[in-house]
A and B are shown apart, each in its own frame.
Chain A
């Protein structure tokens, strides 16, 4: 535990966003994670993203399951709504919350354990339903909170801190999401906010399910020599496959149009990919999966916004959810009482 909480200091050097808030207004409680945990950097990147997008704190809903990663919503945007669910159930809770109120921004933070083991089923269905949310997997290859057992994202050749090798093949959440039809898929690294923040911002503005797998080293149990998710290994094996101009920013005139691919988003804004490997089409699942397979064979960790599309209907379209958040509908209409229920039931007899 840090000796003090991060003090709120009225600093002139801090910029204000469109709401007149500074980044300090998006802080949460003091982190209790291990010093140097990648998860804290993801927290900081989320804080920066919502600050830069000028999202009013009370229009944000943050959700999580169980794990060190799942503790992090406490550490950002104290004034937001939040739900800390049981292990692996965040995706289900988020689906329900999203259906009930389409006016909020949803950020789910989960771990590789939370999402790829106990919660895999819920994650799969949230992707299928195209729940309108940003889903962040803080991916460290271990169960950090329970002392460093391998998780389902641990690579085959990697070892535990004590040296035992992992013999079970991994699930790559990016490939999983692509094969389930996700509409926004990215991978990033907690140690590189210059890439992470624009991806989180794009994910927050995307309509539908945005999955971001963030390699997030566990300094305590998985930052050693045998790890393939350590700071050093990630830096040595990272391959930044794509770059893009985020939708909120104006596209500068001198961006070369050759070799760029633009995806028009639901809101009318455009994501422009500015650097892509040859033959790579970020709107074509098959080409992306093929590319990932090829790079995985040479142990490269592919990062960037890897896939984006906007044709697919989201949860609200699919399920014709209420346009008015349920919370704003008068109670009498929302719950007309047992007489009305009786009447309804009569119709089916």
Chain B
């Protein structure tokens, strides 16, 4: 296969599975080690650098990092990465003097952000310290976007949200509440140097079945995201006893759990497809079921049953699916009586305020055409990010988009092509402290994943905004941090030093090393010490070894980063080195000394 190019940062980056999977590439193992050392402030700030909202995300993140976590390959359960992120926010001290600040002297460039959701806030976070004047237009009277209006307070307390929004706004953003942007043309005319559209995907999907518009009095059929918003703003404080939720995504989970708190007693989530094909995260399903919500599978909504202009129930077809849940057939039918129906079947983008003759092109599904790297639309100087760009995603994606958009905005304002961007960099630092001594905790700890404690069911519904999850205790934290395998502490190989003694191969508890003749991938893989179970994981091939011209091969898949190979190597051909991914942000694009 020839030698692997380990100078390309993406090789080692991929070994850090969680960091690779995180859209914002949060340095997870490093913040976990900082927690282990009790350095909560540092751990929080390290998080903040890449994901901007550690306290919020430590409670609500979709956590694509966890399914990717190497630990799951060892004992089936990933490290509780997200919960540990919350620990950094829970246990940190006052960090206000370590937060970024904006310089008193501005650079004279004005940037407008539409919407005060996570995407716009993160753009402001990156640009304010560089001297930009950032104006945020928000239609509501509080910042946070869907984090405030849709994510219920029992999952995300408003104090946490307020504090992390304030950290950004206090840098001097000019935020204008109750100021919906109604015309992009008009905004363009105000002469901003750049515009960022962070307006989200604000429209809940309709379900146009018979009966939908036949209610005569007050409507008992609600659009999920609008209904959650009206709870957040205190306009809704009750619901009927029998509630049907249509859809089984994360919005449905927030709707059913909110119903439970507003007086719902018999709450059913109606899913079209079987379990295993739901959109909601497994932990959200678990939490809903713990609260007594029933989830019914294989029910396809057919019509709203309206009598005398009043909602009485809903009719469903009962489906039978093939194994992959691609094709179904109707095997029955039933009417489910209810008091309220909440539609939680998705969101759409809507840009009624963007004139279609500005040169800003739209593609399919009424989505703007946005460059995947620069986040720029077809109208130079107008950038998109978060849900507004490619439809509903999540907070961490909004932040990731925002970092990239901020770089583009900076380049655009400075007259540099938006495509001129710094590549990822890396740094490797030896972790050797002495013979058989490492600067990290290299032993494998067999502890199981710690369970998050919840407020008692008896007390849980006493207040609408009572946070359910209690956070990790000190003991749980201490146990959980040791489960991390330190995937960023890389095994770095120097072929010219190897005397082919086999010591590393013999000691490796994961059997991931092999010395053999080079060959094409399939051939090489057939000669590995242990079977290669995951071809998506890296396969390291060294330069030819000095004595026999064979090569050292490492299957990255199951390495537990124990460092034994490096310890047993007589010539230090293997070493354990901490890999640090250098992600360029907008600030890194500012020539030093100038801002």
A-to-B contact residues, CB < 8 Å: 1-4, 6-15, 23-24, 31, 34-38, 40-41, 43-44, 190-191, 193, 217, 219, 223, 231-232, 235
A-B contact pairs, 22 of them (CB 8 A): A1-B436, A6-B564, A11-B530, A13-B532, A13-B557, A14-B530, A15-B531, A23-B511, A24-B509, A40-B503, A40-B507, A41-B503, A41-B506, A43-B506, A44-B502, A190-B501, A191-B500, A191-B502, A219-B570, A231-B547, A235-B500, A235-B547
Q: Which residue of B lies closest to A4 (CB)?
A: B443
Choose among A4, A38, A44 the residue with the greatest number of B CB atoms under 10 Å from its CB.
A4
- Is B291 part of the binding interface, using a Cβ–Cβ cutoff of 8 Å? no
A13 to B562, Cβ gap below 8 A?
A: no
Least Cβ distance of B561 to chain A in Å? 11
**Binary flags per residue of B434-446, CB closer than 8 Å to A gives 1, else 0:** 0011100011101
B506 to A7, Cβ gap below 8 A?
A: no
A37 to B567, Cβ gap below 8 A?
A: no
**Binary flags per residue of B526-546, CB closer than 8 Å to A gives 1, else 0:** 000011110000000000000
- Is B37 part of the binding interface, using a Cβ–Cβ cutoff of 8 Å? no
Report the Cα distance A152→B75, complex, angstroms: 50
Report the Cα distance A6→B531, complex, angstroms: 20
Choose among B75, B437, B499, B563 the residue with the greatest number of A CB atoms under 10 Å from its CB.
B499
B-to-A contact residues, CB < 8 Å: 73-75, 436-438, 442-444, 446, 499-503, 505-507, 509-511, 530-533, 547-548, 557-558, 560, 562-564, 567-571
Report the Cα distance A44→B505, complex, angstroms: 9
- For residue A193, which residues in chain B have a CB less than 8 angstroms away from its CB? 502
Report the Cα distance A193→B444, complex, angstroms: 28
Report the Cα distance A219→B573, complex, angstroms: 14
Which of A11, A12, A36 contacts B499, CB < 8 Å?
A: A36
B563 to A11, Cβ gap below 8 A?
A: no
Least Cβ distance of A36 to chain B in Å? 3
- For residue A6, which residues in chain B have a CB less than 8 angstroms away from its CB? 507, 509, 564
A13 to B511, Cβ gap below 8 A?
A: yes
Which of A1, A9, A41 contacts B502, CB < 8 Å?
A: A41
B558 to A37, Cβ gap below 8 A?
A: no
- For residue A232, which residues in chain B have a CB less than 8 angstroms away from its CB? 499, 547
- Knowing A10-B75, A11-B510, the reply to whether A231 touches B503 (Cβ < 8 A) is no
A7 to B502, Cβ gap below 8 A?
A: no
- Knowing A36-B503, A37-B503, A41-B506, the reply to whether A11 touches B567 (Cβ < 8 A) is no
Report the Cα distance A24→B74, complex, angstroms: 14
Report the Cα distance A23→B510, complex, angstroms: 11
Report the Cα distance A44→B506, complex, angstroms: 6
A3 to B506, Cβ gap below 8 A?
A: no
Choose among A12, A15, A24 the residue with the greatest number of B CB atoms under 10 Å from its CB.
A12
Which of A8, A31, A191 contacts B509, CB < 8 Å?
A: A8
- For residue A10, which residues in chain B have a CB less than 8 angstroms away from its CB? 74-75
A35 to B569, Cβ gap below 8 A?
A: yes
Q: Which residue of B lies closest to A27 (CB)?
A: B509
Least Cβ distance of A161 to chain B in Å? 14
Interface of A is mostly: loop
- Known contacts A9-B558, A231-B500; 20 further A-B pairs (Cβ under 8 A): A1-B436, A2-B564, A3-B436, A3-B442, A3-B563, A4-B442, A10-B75, A11-B74, A13-B510, A13-B511, A13-B531, A13-B533, A31-B568, A36-B501, A40-B502, A40-B507, A43-B506, A217-B501, A231-B547, A232-B499
A36 to B570, Cβ gap below 8 A?
A: yes
Report the Cα distance A337→B66, complex, angstroms: 70
Choose among A10, A190, A191 the residue with the greatest number of B CB atoms under 10 Å from its CB.
A191
Least Cβ distance of B574 to chain A in Å? 10
Least Cβ distance of B446 to chain A in Å? 8
- For residue A14, which residues in chain B have a CB less than 8 angstroms away from its CB? 511, 530
A9 to B444, Cβ gap below 8 A?
A: yes
Report the Cα distance A38→B499, complex, angstroms: 11
A231 to B510, Cβ gap below 8 A?
A: no
A231 to B74, Cβ gap below 8 A?
A: no
- For residue A8, which residues in chain B have a CB less than 8 angstroms away from its CB? 509
- For residue A11, which residues in chain B have a CB less than 8 angstroms away from its CB? 74, 510-511, 530, 558
- For residue A3, which residues in chain B have a CB less than 8 angstroms away from its CB? 436-438, 442-443, 563, 567
Least Cβ distance of B415 to chain A in Å? 54
B568 to A36, Cβ gap below 8 A?
A: yes
A7 to B511, Cβ gap below 8 A?
A: no
Q: Which residue of A lies closest to B76 (CB)?
A: A10
Q: Which residue of B lies closest to A232 (CB)?
A: B547
Choose among B502, B531, B562, B567 the residue with the greatest number of A CB atoms under 10 Å from its CB.
B502
Top 5 nearest A-B pairs by Cβ distance? A36-B570, A7-B444, A44-B506, A13-B530, A36-B501
- For residue B547, which residues in chain A have a CB less than 8 angstroms away from its CB? 231-232, 235
Report the Cα distance A1→B507, complex, angstroms: 13
Which of B75, B506, B510, B567 contacts A2, CB < 8 Å?
A: B567
- Knowing A2-B567, A35-B570, A36-B571, the reply to whether A223 touches B499 (Cβ < 8 A) is yes
- For residue B503, which residues in chain A have a CB less than 8 angstroms away from its CB? 35-37, 40-41
Least Cβ distance of A123 to chain B in Å? 27
- For residue A43, which residues in chain B have a CB less than 8 angstroms away from its CB? 506
Choose among A11, A31, A34 the residue with the greatest number of B CB atoms under 10 Å from its CB.
A11
- For residue B505, which residues in chain A have a CB less than 8 angstroms away from its CB? 44
Q: Which residue of A lies closest to B433 (CB)?
A: A3
Report the Cα distance A232→B533, complex, angstroms: 34
Which of B446, B558, B568 contacts A35, CB < 8 Å?
A: B568
- For residue A35, which residues in chain B have a CB less than 8 angstroms away from its CB? 503, 567-570
Report the Cα distance A11→B534, complex, angstroms: 13
- For residue A24, which residues in chain B have a CB less than 8 angstroms away from its CB? 509
B506 to A40, Cβ gap below 8 A?
A: yes
B567 to A9, Cβ gap below 8 A?
A: no
- For residue A12, which residues in chain B have a CB less than 8 angstroms away from its CB? 73, 533
Q: Which residue of B lies closest to A192 (CB)?
A: B502
- Knowing A34-B570, A36-B571, the reply to whether A4 touches B562 (Cβ < 8 A) is yes
Q: Which residue of A lies closest to B501 (CB)?
A: A36
Least Cβ distance of A280 to chain B in Å? 26
Choose among B438, B509, B533 the residue with the greatest number of A CB atoms under 10 Å from its CB.
B509
B501 to A9, Cβ gap below 8 A?
A: no
Least Cβ distance of B442 to chain A in Å? 6
Q: Which residue of B lies closest to A236 (CB)?
A: B547
Report the Cα distance A37→B567, complex, angstroms: 13
Report the Cα distance A35→B560, complex, angstroms: 20
Report the Cα distance A10→B437, complex, angstroms: 25
B562 to A7, Cβ gap below 8 A?
A: yes
B568 to A13, Cβ gap below 8 A?
A: no
- For residue A13, which residues in chain B have a CB less than 8 angstroms away from its CB? 510-511, 530-533, 557-558
Least Cβ distance of A7 to chain B in Å? 4
- For residue A31, which residues in chain B have a CB less than 8 angstroms away from its CB? 507, 568
Least Cβ distance of A23 to chain B in Å? 7
Least Cβ distance of B570 to chain A in Å? 3
Report the Cα distance A252→B499, complex, angstroms: 35
B564 to A4, Cβ gap below 8 A?
A: yes
